[in-house]
Structure 1
Amino acid sequence: MPHSTERRLQWLKRLTLAGTVLTALVILVGAWTRLVDAGLGCPDWPGCYGRLLVPDNEYAALRHPDVPLEPFKAWVEMAHRYVASFLGLIVLSVVALGWSLRKRPGFPGKVSIALLIVILLQGAFGAFTVTLKLWPQVVTLHLLGGLSVLMLFFWLHLRIRLSLTSRTSFPINHISTSTSDASSPKTINVLWVIGVSALVLQLALGGWVTSNYAGIACQGFPTCNTQWWPEMDISEGFHLTQTVGPNYLHGQLHADARTAIHMMHRFGALLLGIVLLALWWRYRTAASVGRALMLVLIAYFVQVALGIANVLLWLPLWLALLHTAGAVALTLSMEWAFWCWKRQPSQQSIEVNDLKAAQVTFTHCSK
């Protein structure tokens, strides 16, 4: 490998790892912003009362006399925007560094372009979150977009790290160009489709819970408001064409609708647990995949415990933030498990010339 190419890949490896960590931080800062009711701390976008820094009360009153300035909430909202903007610069750096390598066999150029597109959409969702006054549909999509950025950054990091490992661990002429991932392509099976779909559904339900302020709509666990099947208004709780215009801070739905959202989130957690257990049972004897799925199960059970604690303790700020961190950990662990399964070489697909490449892939996933 030419020295300049290797150096670029090394920088991309560092940047994508930094991007993964920073994305997780942005998600947590976003959750903090929402939990302290600072989502509308600045009534405009991208500035705050028309400034890049939070202005004083006098200037804010002239700019938006209908929205009194609350300095703490405004600074929280702007802190979220500053960190997110820095994340955007990292994405641009990744795309720029990888542009000259985009046609190189095995380089994940399409993933980096997808990352750029998603981060631009995230910026748009960030603007709509403010201008549409926390419309639940946009808030939920903004959360899912943040998790998508996280997954793309992590996947890009894994691909680049594997590219470096496979090219520096042994001479390049030992690897056929058709096996840059060091394993034969695998067709996605039904169990993985169900597992990923169940996780996405549960993440979306979690976003819908928080955007509609339904976290403590149910008191008590395992019952809800002392009932196993409480009064619920499912049609109103999942009415996706809510009116655009009202201020959705603290939510607009009535109690039964919020109860329905909360209960569906509980049922989604149960469904996800069953699917994850099935996945683990199916691959428990496959060394690296089984260990990765065990990590997923640990993250899942910790997340369930955090969810229960949030209900019983009435959603304290620190615990709600931990629940968001748990969603991040669950997402990354599931992606890691899928990576390990996707890269697990089968004996039938390993050719003599690709044996060392397959060994590198297995070692890479087992670390």
Structure 2
Amino acid sequence: MMGTEGRLRLLKTLSLIGVVFTGLVILVGAWTRLSDAGLGCPDWPGCYGRLVVPDAEHAMMHTPDTPLEVFKAWVEMFHRYIASALGLLVIAIVVMGVSLRHQPGFPWLVSLSLLAAIIVQGAFGAFTVTLKLWPQVVTLHLLGGLTVMVLFLWLHLRLRRFVKGDLTLGGVPAPRRPLSPLWGLAVLVLVLQLALGGWVSSNYAGIACQGFPTCNGQWWPSTDWSEGFHITQSVGPNYLHGQLHADARSAIQLGHRLGAMVLGLMLIVLVARHWQETRMRPWLAGLVLVFTLQFGLGVANVVMWLPLWLALLHTAGAVAMVVAMTLSVWNWRTLPVEPAVLNRNQTIMTT
């Protein structure tokens, strides 16, 4: 029978594995989408009614109007297999945490939030197939995957502090700075930019604007913003390769570019505001570095006409951006306020 200490160490390890594993699942999902394999299996959770890819004869009998493409079907099923394994990992973490849930400071609520998120994410996976790659669901599916990864990371960080014994002081939670409006705004801008990136991908608008920094040779090209961001579009058509016309896709791509500029400016403000906190400098510098690399990857995707390997790197950059922001927020909230910063803030308040 595993003791409490051993159980906590195992939970800490499993939560870190969950962070890496979730990143892998997100990348495989991107590979599935970029390979046009999102509908490689027309049903869910099986593939032509089976848990493994069947032969062409069975597939024809099951769904006559959707011919089997073996490679795409296996890509889609591989994504489902590893996503299911991730779900089992979450369940294992929650079950292991049941006996620890009453200990002061144990992140039980984070564990339950992770379980709820993985269930919702599984539902989005089903809707992605049954609603024929409806862009709204595909975008939410991406955001859901990133949410699961953040929860895994937050759980790991909480468990690390809990194991070290500094999360509670005499049974009282250690003080943490509340999330300031500036940090909250930075997180919101990042979430919106990630949603825009998902919207670009789900509507196949990655190269709707050829060239950079101009779009199709113009600084402000012909666009259709109302159609490009018409989120109440009907459910039913097959959205593989998209349904929008060129001007609508150009508007989506241009919106994503503008969002990147806003996010970059937001990070500059964030760094300028908190650079005097020496303990925060490595995290802020890392955040800006990841954003710079991600911006460069976005430009390269446009210039090089969206090769598969580069598009996957851009997705990996989004994952890294989320991790960098999460770690920055965590450290800003938990690191002790430096005396010089505290004195400066008090001076500002008194004047």
What are the superposed Cα offsets for residues 174-203 of structure 1, whole Å, 9 maximum, x if unpaired? Answer: 932213xx4x13222111011000000000
Give the distance between the partners of 2:276 and 2:165, measured in 1 at CA: 26
Residue type of the partner of 1:177? Answer: G
**What is aligned with 2:124?**
125
1 CA distance for matches of 2:84 and 2:294?
29
Extract unaligned runs of 5+ from structure 1. Answer: 349-367
Name the aligned partner's letter for residue 43 of structure 2. Answer: D
Change (3 A) 1:347 1:297: closer
Instruction: Please say if residues 284 and 291 of structure 1, whose CA atoms lie closer than 8 Å, have aligned partners that are also in contact.
Output: no
> Is 1:176 the equivalent of 2:170?
yes
Q: Which residue of 2 aligns with 1:83?
A: 82
Per the alignment, residue 323 of structure 1 pairs with 314
Deviates more, 1:313-322 or 1:94-103: 94-103
Summarize deviations over 1:246-279 as a string: whole Å, max 9, x none: 0000000000000000000000000000001111
Aligned length: 338
**How far apart are the structure 2 equivalents of 1:102 and 1:276?**
37
Q: Deviations over 1:299-344 (max 9, x none)?
A: 0000000000000000000000000000000000000000000102
Structure 2 counterpart of 1:65: 64
> Normalized against structure 2, the TM-score is what?
0.94
User: Are 1:155 and 2:146 matched, yes or no?
Assistant: no
- Distance in 2 (CA, whole Å) between partners of 1:11 and 1:188 is 30
Which residue number corresponds to residue 143 of structure 1?
Answer: 142
Instruction: Pick one of 185, 197, 213 that aligns with 1:206.
Output: 197
Picking from 307, 317, 337, the partner of 2:298 is 307
- Select which of 341, 344, 348 maps to 2:332: 341
CA contact (8 A) 2:277 2:338 kept: no
2:109 is aligned with 1:92: no
CA contact (8 A) 2:19 2:152 kept: yes
Q: Name the amino acid aligned to 1:125.
A: F
TM-score (normalised: structure 1): 0.90
Alignment RMSD: 1.3
Instruction: Measure, in 2, the Cα distance between the counterparts of 1:149 and 1:59.
Output: 36
Who is 1:16 aligned against? Answer: 15
Aligned-partner SS, 2:172: helix
Which consecutive aligned stretches of 4+ in structure 1 deviate over 3 angstroms post-superposition?
A: none
Q: Does 1:224 align with 2:218?
A: no
Cα distance in 1 for residues equivalent to 2:128 and 2:256: 23
Q: Give the SS at the match of 2:41.
A: coil
Q: In 2, are the aligned partners of 1:213 and 1:251 still within 8 Å (CA)?
A: yes
Matched, 1:261 2:252: yes
**1:51 corresponding residue in structure 2:** 50
Counterpart amino acid of residue 300 in structure 1: F
Q: What is aligned with 1:34?
A: 33
Partner Cα distance (2:94, 2:59) in 1 = 38
Partner of 1:192: 183
Q: Given that residues 11 and 93 in structure 2 are in contact (C-alpha distance below 8 angstroms), is that contact kept between their aligned partners in structure 1? A: yes
Q: CA deviation at 1:162?
A: 1.2
Identity %: 62
CA distance in 2, matches of 1:288, 1:215: 38
Cα distance per residue 1:6-55 (max 9 Å; x no partner): 11110101110111100000000000000000000000000000000000
